[in-house]
Amino acid sequence: MAETVTNFLQQYVSPELVVFIISMLPILELRGGLIAASLLQIPWQQASVICIIGTILPVPFILLFIKQILKWLQKTKLFSRIAHHFEKKALSKGAEMIEKHPRGMMLALYIFVAIPLPGTGAWTGSLIASFLNLPVKNSFIMIALGCATATVIMLVLAYLIPSFVIG
């Protein structure tokens, strides 16, 4: 998926902007951004900064406004199903795990964002934090730390392992 988006966007914008845009997108986020950066041969140091900024940028807006936006979207015919889907996904993905550990909710949020698996990441973590009414400041810090950890993991997967395989 990251490769398809990369191929499309690179016709119109610089490689760095391609990586930034991909990093901002839900689902792809920094996982897709770092894969795209590797494909575009952007140095890992530069790619890391671009991806973290691109992934973190939407987080405060999601934390502060997503519940109101989803309520509004649920009232429209066109977006009602999508809005319900996002709400259901956020609550089913990580909310159960996080709610089971009230003392460790912030740690659970960090771990949820840090492990770069499909369905986890800054967008879903922000949705979960918002729906569970977790403190915005603490949630932002844990999501940012989770993104930094996911970046390290993805750097190994996107840059280090392919260089061993290719030679």
- pLDDT tens-digit profile of 44-83? 999 999 999 999 999 999 999 988 988 888 889 888 888 8
71 with 16, same domain: the answer is no
What gap in Å lies between CA 59 and CA 17, rounded to an integer? 19
86 with 138, same domain: the answer is yes
136 with 69, same domain: the answer is yes
The residue with greater pLDDT, 97 or 119, is 119
85 with 134, same domain: the answer is yes
Task: Count CA within 13 A, CB hemisphere, residue 123.
Answer: 18
**Domain membership of residue 50 as a residue range:** 2-56+150-166
85 with 143, same domain: the answer is yes
Question: 63: which residues sit within 8 A by CB, 6+ positions away?
Answer: 126, 129, 130, 136, 139, 140
Q: What is the pLDDT of residue 90?
A: 67
128 with 93, same domain: the answer is yes
The total of structural domains in the chain comes to 2
24 with 99, same domain: the answer is no
Answer whether residue 165 shows pLDDT above 60: no
78 with 10, same domain: the answer is no
Phi first, then psi: give them for residue 81, nearest 5 degrees.
-65, -40
What band does 167 get if pLDDT is binned at 50, 70 and 90?
Answer: very low
Q: Is the pTM of this model over 0.75?
A: yes
What gap in Å lies between CA 89 and CA 56, rounded to an integer? 20
Mean pLDDT score of the chain, rounded to an integer? 87
What gap in Å lies between CA 67 and CA 64, rounded to an integer? 8
Q: What is the pLDDT of residue 8?
A: 87
What gap in Å lies between CA 133 and CA 139, rounded to an integer? 10
| Burial tier of 145 (Cβ tally within 10 Å: 0-12, 13-18, 19+) | middle
Residue 30 contacts residue 50 (beta carbons within 8 Å): no
63 with 143, same domain: the answer is yes
What band does 101 get if pLDDT is binned at 50, 70 and 90?
Answer: low
